[in-house]
Amino acid sequence: MQQMEQQSIKRKHDEFSLPLPASAEVVVIGGGVVGCAIARELTRFTPDVVVLEKENDVADAASKANNAMVHSGMGEKKGTLKAHLNVRGNRMYDRFVEGLNVEFKRDGMFIVITPRSLSFPWLRWIPAWLVRQWMRVCLPWVLVAYGRGKGIKGLKRVRRKKLLRLEPNLTPEVISGIYDPNYGRISPYKLTIALAEHAVINGARVCLNTEVMGVRVEDGEVRGVITDRGEIATKRVVNAAGCFADEVARMAGADGFRIHARKGATLLFDKEISTVVNHTISELRVPLAGHSKGGGLMPTIDGPLQLGPTAIEVEDKYDTSVSREEIDWILDRFLYLIPTFPKSSVICAFTGVRAPTEQEDFVIGVSDKVKGFVNAAGTQSPALASAPAIAEMVLGVLQGLGVSRTLREDFDPVRPGKPVFSKLSDAERQKLVEEDPRWGHVICRCEYVTEAEIVNAIHGIIPATTVDAVKRRTRAGMGRCQGGFCGPRVSAILARELGIPVTQVTKDGEGSPLFCCESKDLLKEVV
């Protein structure tokens, strides 16, 4: 019986998905931030772009579960492609988000120096006062110079006194620090959704619930993409499949890199306590253990504060679990910075999986084995920050493969935003209720999300067909009660708007039903 239900869920999702086009100038595999950024840049030149995403929504993998930082490049090794595209991508961000109606704040980050910052074994041969003096006076300048060497501008030394004035809750043990004004914050899933919608507005097609199973290659050239819903003829494929990019490359016979999954867990705290810090704060730790950039205390653009992330190699690319050790590690590692931190205000723990290659660098460019197969892979952090530069680079490659170089005259620069109830004034709210009473019906009591916003999300350009997809677009269920209250109401609205029984509503697509059946059904089974 469960089997049957799941099948009908699958069928239902097919109905929500676009019919597969027969051909396309470019097919982008993967609807994460990288794939969607590439698709959007492409539509400036050609509308004939198709994005294929195996999940029920865009931004349903790494692009929904990361730390949402538009890094400056401070954390990347000089000379790597990552460092280059990160510094460039960061600079491009303001233009990149123009017209998308996605909130982006460039309000910088403090990198603080504490007694724990340097942990070289040989330091114990040097008198402690001297090390401390050096960390106070010289180390900030070393960091500034290090950043400048990579092309990062505007770095400033900040003295202890000023740090404590600007961040009164910071540990008094702090020695000194620097300020990096380039750091920005954005909602990664809202950005990805906006990019996808902007691409669609300009002619692209985003096919959800469509998994790529193979790439047709003839005479060393791409001819088509084979999916579980049929085949699309094309000469150009972009592999932006995140963690699965190595597998997709292998399908085309264009392999040459392996992706190993490295998960990262983050704790999220009630926005009520967001005022414990005023800026993003990261603690300098060298040498760094593992491959995390160190993380820190990161206020999200929507309010809640993030602590994390961890960095743990995992076998399973779908391993989005959080372990007890990770939770303890995060609390131990970051609460040092804010001794009075109210750690009981945690509202959520989440995990994303990074997609590094063995070389720990991005793999971007056309495959030398298969003509027309372009990789945008190895997209571990900071691929969110680098997305504009990655997209620019891939676009250049595709133009080399025959995509038009002439900007379309009919390109629409704007992806219209929708009103967000919680951010409106009373007068604006009043006006909306008068137009549509559903604006007066608050469904999510923690984040103040109205029925109108949920309906808008369900009927959006990239439609939300699951509880999680509604959550990403509207924040319903993202607050302190985590959907305990609005869950039943959101499910009912989804069922009504999609025209399905509520028992077919899912949390996150196939295999994640919220209910097993209606009342009394189980009793019938027993009889």
- Residue numbers of the site for ligand FAD (CB under 6 A)? 29-35, 52-55, 60-63, 66-69, 71, 211-212, 240-244, 248, 264, 266, 309, 352-354, 379-385
- Helix (H) or strand (E) holding 324, with range, is helix 324-334
Task: Please pick, from the candidates 128, 339, 437, 459, the single residue that binds other proteins as defined by CB under 8 A.
Answer: 437
**Rg value, the chain, Cα:** 24
| Active-site annotation holder among 13, 71, 84, 198 | 71
The pattern of x and - marking residues 477 through 506 that bind other proteins according to CB under 8 A reads: ---xxx-xx-xx---x---------xx--x
Task: Please pick, from the candidates 4, 122, 127, 344, the single residue that binds other proteins as defined by CB under 8 A.
Answer: 344
Residues 440 to 469 in contact with other proteins, rule: CB under 8 A: 440-442, 445-446, 448
SS3 (DSSP) at 444: strand
In whole angstroms, give the CA distance from residue 197 to residue 188. Answer: 14
Q: Which is nearer to other proteins, 75 or 304 (CB)?
A: 304
In whole angstroms, give the CA distance from residue 420 to residue 393. Answer: 34
Q: How many CB atoms lie within 10 A of CB 315?
A: 7
Count of alpha carbons within 13 Å of 520, Cβ hemisphere only? 0
Q: Which does 344 bind (CB under 5 to 8 A by kind): other proteins, ligand FAD, none?
A: other proteins
Q: Which does 509 bind (CB under 5 to 8 A by kind): other proteins, ligand FAD, none?
A: other proteins
71 is catalytic: yes
SS3 (DSSP) at 306: strand
Q: Can residue 427 be called a binding residue for other proteins (CB under 8 A)?
A: yes
Q: To which residue do tokens 């989440």 refer?
A: 350
Longest alpha-carbon distance in the chain:
81
Quote the least distance from Cβ 345 to ligand FAD, whole Å. Answer: 20
Q: Can residue 507 be called a binding residue for other proteins (CB under 8 A)?
A: yes
Helix/strand/coil (H/E/C) assignment for every residue in 330-346: HHHHHCCCCCCCCHHHE
Backbone angles phi, psi at 70, to 5 degrees: -90, 90
Task: Please pick, from the candidates 14, 272, 360, 497, the single residue that binds other proteins as defined by CB under 8 A.
Answer: 272
Q: Can residue 430 be called a binding residue for other proteins (CB under 8 A)?
A: yes
Q: In the structure encoding, which two tokens stand for residue 515, read together?
A: 């209910």
Backbone angles phi, psi at 515, to 5 degrees: -130, 150
Q: Can residue 242 be called a binding residue for other proteins (CB under 8 A)?
A: no
Are 78 and 149 contacting, i.e. CB atoms less than 8 angstroms apart?
yes
Residues in the chain, total: 527
Residues 314 to 343 in contact with other proteins, rule: CB under 8 A: 318, 320-324, 326-327
Q: Please list the active-site residues.
A: 71
Q: Name the site residues for other proteins (rule: CB under 8 A).
A: 272, 318, 320-324, 326-327, 344, 346-350, 426-427, 429-430, 433-434, 437-442, 445-446, 448, 480-482, 484-485, 487-488, 492, 502-503, 506-523, 525-526
